[in-house]
A and B are shown apart, each in its own frame.
Chain A
Amino acid sequence: MNSAQIEIQLIASLVAIACAIPGTFLVLRKMAMISDAISHSILPGIVIGFFITQDLNSPLLILLAAFTGIITVVLVEYIQKTGLVKEDTAIGLVFPALFSIGVILIAKNANDVHLDVDAVLLGELAFAPFDRLFIGGTDVGPKSLWIIGSILITTIGLLLAFFKELKLSTFDKGLAASLGFSPAIIHYGLMSVASVTTVGAFDAVGAILVVALMIAPAATAYLLTTDLKKMLGLAIGFGVLSAISGYWFAHWLDASIAGSITTMLGFIFLIVFLFAPSKGIIAVMYREKQQRTEVSLLTFLLHLKNHTEERERHVNHLQEHINWQKVRAKTVLDLALKNNMIVFNKNIVSLTEKGDTFTSKAIDYIITNEDAQIEDMKEDFFLFRG
């Protein structure tokens, strides 16, 4: 690896971390769309900032553009508050309007502005190492690295300071308000961080990748944990993993880095969506199947318990009586046998002592729904999980 390659991966990873942090809260607040809106509507801010500063990396430009992001949020909320349209409609009204102002400004001043819309939307990570920062004549590294690095440090500082407030106001706005943690301040704080991150990152990675890096890792992490801190950690991990694997994928294909990172984000999400241990669709399907079998098992055991007559407990009779297909009946019988709940005696099935206790306990649970019982039984039995 040469130093440019390392720098590109470093920038991509820092952007991923800086995006995953506000992204986690945006996902939990069901505001994924607003980050899309911000990423587009900062365009006029960038153009105007560029007229003033003539430097795409100037901090003033970043602040101006981030301010456009905040204006977007305010406008969306204002339109929504009129009660005439819903939030998604309000977002759909605001950001194309602001974005098109940016496009027109660029077109009108094409001669003075070395900026094109594609570059804003897609960015070009591969060029990031060439725009370097010199302090007193010494090369201290790529400018984007410094910009995104400072944004990341600020974000982490804010996260550490206000984690509790963010968590509370995201989970329960009402309680936050009544305890004196103004949800509005926290909301606009989060929006400001999202806006500044978007602007700071767009030059290197483009507005679209910024959105993907905010939403996809957080959405992936959400499927894997029920702990907010772990969700943040996982989101950061997935972001960095996509950034680095995406870089090498692009290298191998000789394709756009931003595009490859986005592909990786989508790919990782898909894998987790399928295979996540408790929320993944395969796990859900497996659990449903398992539960069906267990309900059948219980029905079967109950039947045995309720009927002392041998006629009712003959293997053949069971099949026609309980009216199951062969396969199903066999699965249930096997499961019961495996757990030592039944014994066969000349084709007559009877409950073992264990099977008998288990059945009584299960009935008890179903009738009384006592919490204490469910806690023990969860260990043995899928049925009572979740």
Chain B
Amino acid sequence: MKEQSQNKETPTYSGVLAVKVDDLTVAYNYKPVLWDIDLEIPEGVLMAIVGPNGAGKSTLIKSILGILKPIAGSVSIYGKPYDKQRKLVAYVPQKGSVDWDFPTTALDVVMMGTYGSLGWIKRPKQKEKKAALEALEKVGMLAFKSRQISQLSGGQQQRIFLARALVQNASIYFMDEPFQGVDATTEIAIINILKELRKAGKTVIVVHHDLQTVPEYFDWVTFLNVKKIATGPVKDIFNDDNLTKTYGINYKVSIQE
């Protein structure tokens, strides 16, 4: 693999583990789709999870977040089970996982990000609203705050979900294909926000399909296809060998021009 010129602002890692996954096996209807995954994600990385469709990327994130129950293995967030660390974690689901015709506005959806810190019963107040408006501003969607969400374009919907994750003010962000169906401008806007998060010491984990941009956007990468193929710094492990192992076909990284 050729020399890479990505990531000018080389991040510094604290050496603390943000996420640790041990021997994780997850099944749908008793058919395992993730086998015996061990994964350590250091604090402060901007990490891509790559793998073909159906590799189990979304499943991995959902299991880490306790949305799916694994049949074996365990997950810890900063050394403790997820249940105890919910407030440290924010999640942007893969598009299409919500009911877009639901009677709710963009601002309302972003406010939902504050529900976790509110806990049961307590209702969002002025402070939560202000945080939501700020997040909308950050993703350039303030003008659309009162729009019903189905009346937004795909890229705009994606930004709303990013804003929702931002108001969670978490330490670890999981994003399932945030670049799906967005134009180049939005993609750059999103990646800049993600890099800003990393700069602020946060850990960002992104399911990503565009292999071309991995070296440019990310500093850490995990290859996944039912099993974990490899994980580590992009500059050390993002190579033909791992890509071929993950995607099955003979993959050539002929992209660093």
CA distance A277 to B143 in the complex (A): 24
CA distance A180 to B83 in the complex (A): 8
Contact status B65-A178, CB under 8 Å: yes
- Majority-rule SS of A interface residues: helix
Q: Which A23-76 residues sit within 8 Å CB-CB of chain B?
A: 28
Q: Which of A157-165, A200-208, A346-354 contacts B (4 or more CB under 8 A)?
A: A157-165
Contact status A168-B112, CB under 8 Å: yes
Q: Which residue of A lies closest to B97 (CB)?
A: A174
Q: A371 contacts which chain B residues (CB < 8 A)? A: 143-144, 156
Task: Indicate whether A344 reaches chain B with its CB closer than 8 angstroms.
Answer: no
Most buried by A among B66, B98, B104, B148: B104
Contact status B99-A28, CB under 8 Å: yes
Number of residue pairs spanning A and B whose beta carbons lie under 8 angstroms apart: 83
Contact status A172-B120, CB under 8 Å: no
CA distance A83 to B30 in the complex (A): 11
Task: Indicate whether A228 reaches chain B with its CB closer than 8 angstroms.
Answer: yes
Contact status A174-B123, CB under 8 Å: no
Q: B235 contacts which chain A residues (CB < 8 A)? A: none
Task: Indicate whether A136 reaches chain B with its CB closer than 8 angstroms.
Answer: no
Contact status A175-B104, CB under 8 Å: no
Interface range, B side: 20 to 34
* Closest-CB distance, B76 to chain A (whole angstroms): 16
Given contacts A164-B118, A164-B123, A386-B151, contact A172 B105 (CB under 8 A): no
Contact status B115-A179, CB under 8 Å: yes
Contact status B67-A177, CB under 8 Å: yes
CA distance A164 to B121 in the complex (A): 7
Contact status B93-A228, CB under 8 Å: no
Interface range, A side: 20 to 34
Task: Indicate whether A188 reaches chain B with its CB closer than 8 angstroms.
Answer: no
Q: A28 contacts which chain B residues (CB < 8 A)? A: 99, 102-103
* Closest-CB distance, B189 to chain A (whole angstroms): 12
Task: Indicate whether B181 reaches chain A with its CB closer than 8 angstroms.
Answer: no
Q: B156 contacts which chain A residues (CB < 8 A)? A: 371
Contact status A171-B99, CB under 8 Å: yes
Q: A163 contacts which chain B residues (CB < 8 A)? A: 123
Given contacts A163-B123, A225-B103, contact A172 B98 (CB under 8 A): yes
Q: Mark B117-157, 1 if CB is under 8 A from A, else 0.
A: 01111011000000000000000000110001001000010
CA distance A228 to B103 in the complex (A): 5
Task: Indicate whether A222 reaches chain B with its CB closer than 8 angstroms.
Answer: yes
CA distance A181 to B99 in the complex (A): 18
Task: Indicate whether B86 reaches chain A with its CB closer than 8 angstroms.
Answer: yes
Task: Indicate whether B91 reaches chain A with its CB closer than 8 angstroms.
Answer: yes
Residues in chain B within 8 A of chain A (CB atoms): 29, 62, 65-67, 83, 86, 89, 91, 93, 97-99, 102-105, 108-109, 112, 115-116, 118-121, 123-124, 143-144, 148, 151, 156, 164
Give the 8 A-B residue pairs with the shortest CB-CB distance, closest first: A179-B116, A226-B148, A178-B65, A177-B67, A172-B98, A171-B102, A228-B103, A226-B103
Q: A180-B116, A228-B104 are in contact. List 7 more A-B contacts (CB 8 A).
A: A165-B121, A167-B112, A175-B91, A180-B86, A225-B103, A228-B102, A228-B108
